[in-house]
Chains A and B, each alone.
Chain A
Amino acid sequence: METAMQPLKKDTQPMLDTLRQAGAAYMQQNGLPTTRHEKWKYTSLKPLEQMMLAPERRIGEQATADTVPSLPNTMQGALENAVRITLVNGVYRADLSQADQLPEGVTLYSFANAANEHGAWLQQYLPENGFHDDQFLLALNGQYAQDGIVLHIAKKTSCAATPIIVQYVTLGRNGELAAAPMAHSRCVIVAEDHSESTIVEVTHGQESYGVNIGFDIHVGTHARLHHYRWQNDTQRAAHFVTSNIHVGRDASYDHFCLMMGSKLARHDVRAHLIAPNTECRVNGVYLAAQQQHLDTTILIEHHQPHGTSNQTFKGIVAGSARAVFQGKVHVHRAAQKTDGYQLNNALLLSRTAEVDVKPELEIYADDVKCSHGATTGQLDTGPLFYLRSRGLSEAQAKILLMQAFIGPALDEIRDENVRNVFTDLAMDWIRQQAV
């Protein structure tokens, strides 16, 4: 792992202990945020109050290749040359992973090993205490820090054609979410200068559980990182992802999240464009039904000139589900010539469905191009009747219109194979809603 991974002197305090202590101290002092907290106005963490926030190791340890849920056929087919990495209940599982098949230049460590053996190197990629001041779930993640993964993509490695699938499997308990354990994992992705890589994540599991993943992502100079996620946790799960992202000069971070699982989810992204001419794409589709509550909260920090950021989100909300989209673009004084774009379109399929949207622009530079747009609507009767008058059944017409609605967001996925897979997965959901 380049010079940074040369023999290291033993840390005075093991890194995991530091994370745990800092996390525990913060949680003891602050606890989880209530809806009075500005950033948590639309998403209540009340369901977590009764939860066992600590991980349950035993269930995960018993998992074997036969008992972890399998990936959908469409993904196995279209991404057949992918290398698979598996975490079960927050712990990296070498026996369920293909680390030996990773492309040349890509190195994988379990987070626990990396923290023990290369703590000083690893620490540079994490916030000082492991979390920023109002990143409650990341502090909680630190409090129970045990494992995760570190993916290092060496300088000039070009392996985008071999996607790395990282699946976060969480095996929970039968019963209500309230009594379920929570798995915490830390995932560090370091894409060194001039590298190009594709990571496809899947979060899924069984029964009732919480899953809380912390990401630290660094995209080096002129590097390109394609980072896609299919959130498909069970309908009795609580899913949290908190990402701190740093994008370097002339680099591109290309993210897409297809969010359709879990009872309660919050996808929290904080991206820093720390050098000139960086590109940051945080796009997604959210599909919520029944009683689901899916929250996407994004903060893009433009620190330097000529940066481009793009947020294109399309969501469909059915039943009594609720979706939240909070997107903020913060353009600092030095970030002249910034191009910031944000769009959130939501389609409500029922009277009891709800979407809360809060777009924000905070601009201190005077020569920038920033725009945001948000719409919320329902399926128009005009196009529905037009399609039906040509012979399409009501369900067929709705499917076609919903497909067309989310299409522009899916088109933002730059990897064609992943785009096709995610389109298939979204279409499965849409077909279920149309009957």
Chain B
Amino acid sequence: MLNITNLHAQTAEDQKEILKGLNLSLKAGEIHAIMGPNGSGKSTLSYVLAGREDYEVTDGDIQFKGESILEMSPDERAAAGIFLAFQYPVEIPGVPMTLFMKTALNAIRKKRGEAELDALGFMKIMKETCKKLGINEEMMKRPVNVGFSGGEKKRAEVLQMAMLEPKLCILDETDSGLDIDALKIVADGVNALRSPDRAMLIITHYQRLLDYIKPDYVHVLANGQIIRSGGPELALELEENGYADILAQAA
């Protein structure tokens, strides 16, 4: 589903190289976790995959469902099925969640060649999804992420993911700033979206999240490259020994 080969990327503003030849491959149905110390390029990878214009790809390729997505805009990638759950979901005052979600869902449906939903059809899907994920509908009346608690923001991200039905879900430090109860709720939401035709890339600093969302593979990202890959046990090893050992081995 996703093939990243020799990916080099830098910041657009000051040409600072952050990803330095990254290789990664995900198949449908798989869950991969990427772990790494601060500043290793984890968030950059998620932004580059989603098409943020603050980063430039200078070498290598990203293939999604067999096609390069480097020339695709963020909205084209979203329509193709890539979804990024933000580490820091953006607050947008004045735009109610429902208006935002209806516009988003219809934009994606249109690009996918599906019929757009009317207000009634949209509300039905929204209510069902809220119910399934245990989200209070009241949240949908508020402006996008404005005044949301940390847990509410992450739950809203999962809700968007559920409604837009992506093929590749990237979760960027979804656990950051969550207490254990909020983490469980978010993890339950993510687990509900596991499916044989959907791949997930979980980016996290801590092993804790992986107790709740069980990965098939774990990769360690350091200094812009994947320096080690393994099974779930690798996460436990990192938790036990920290990043220092692995970084030393790689060096």
Contact = CB atoms under 8 A, between A and B. Distances in A.
Interface residues of B, number: 31
Interface in A354-413: 381-383, 385-394, 396, 400-401, 403-405, 407-408
Contact of A403 (B94, B107, B108, B164): B94
A387 B92 contact: yes
B149 interface: no
Contacts of B92: 383, 386-387, 400-401, 404
A393 B94 contact: no
A329 B84 CA distance: 48
Contacts of A408: 94
Contacts of B111: 391
A388 B74 CA distance: 6
A381 B90 contact: no
B59 interface: no
Contact of B53 (A381, A387, A390, A400): A381
A381 B92 CA distance: 12
B93 interface: yes
B107 A404 contact: no
B74 to A, nearest CB: 4
Among B51, B86, B94: residue with most chain A CB under 10 A: B94
Interface in B49-82: 50-54, 73-75, 77-79
Given A381-B54, A385-B53, A390 B94 contact: no
A416 B166 CA distance: 39
A134 to B, nearest CB: 38
Contacts of A400: 92, 95, 99-100, 103
B160 interface: yes
A249 to B, nearest CB: 36
A386 B89 contact: yes
Contacts of A405: 94
Contacts of A387: 92, 100, 104
B94 A386 contact: no
Contacts of B108: 390-391
B75 A392 contact: yes
Interface residues of A: mostly helix, strand, loop or mixed?
helix
Among B52, B74, B78: residue with most chain A CB under 10 A: B74
A396 B94 contact: no
A110 to B, nearest CB: 43
Contact of A388 (B73, B83, B93, B105): B73
Contacts of A386: 86, 89-90, 92
Contact of A385 (B52, B79, B94): B52
Contact of A389 (B54, B74, B103, B143): B74
Among B73, B77, B90, B108: residue with most chain A CB under 10 A: B90
B104 A391 contact: yes
B103 A396 contact: yes
A392 B103 contact: yes
Given A391-B79, A391-B108, A392-B103, A385 B74 contact: yes
B66 to A, nearest CB: 21
A405 B143 CA distance: 12
B90 A390 contact: no
Contacts of B100: 387, 390, 400
A380 B67 CA distance: 30
Contacts of B89: 386
A390 B86 contact: no
A401 B94 CA distance: 8
Contact of B90 (A383, A393, A403, A404): A383
Among B54, B75, B90, B93: residue with most chain A CB under 10 A: B75
Nearest to A385: B52
Given A381-B54, A396-B103, A396-B107, A390 B160 contact: yes
Given A396-B107, A400-B100, A391 B75 contact: yes
22 contacts: A381-B53, A381-B54, A385-B50, A385-B52, A385-B54, A386-B90, A388-B74, A389-B74, A389-B77, A389-B83, A390-B100, A390-B104, A390-B108, A390-B160, A391-B78, A391-B104, A394-B75, A401-B92, A401-B95, A403-B94, A404-B93, A408-B94
Given A385-B74, A389-B52, A390-B160, 9 more contacts: A387-B92, A388-B75, A388-B78, A389-B75, A390-B104, A391-B78, A393-B73, A393-B107, A400-B100
Interface of A: 381-383, 385-394, 396, 400-401, 403-405, 407-408
Interface of B: 50-54, 73-75, 77-79, 83-84, 86, 89-90, 92-95, 99-100, 103-105, 107-108, 111, 143, 160, 164
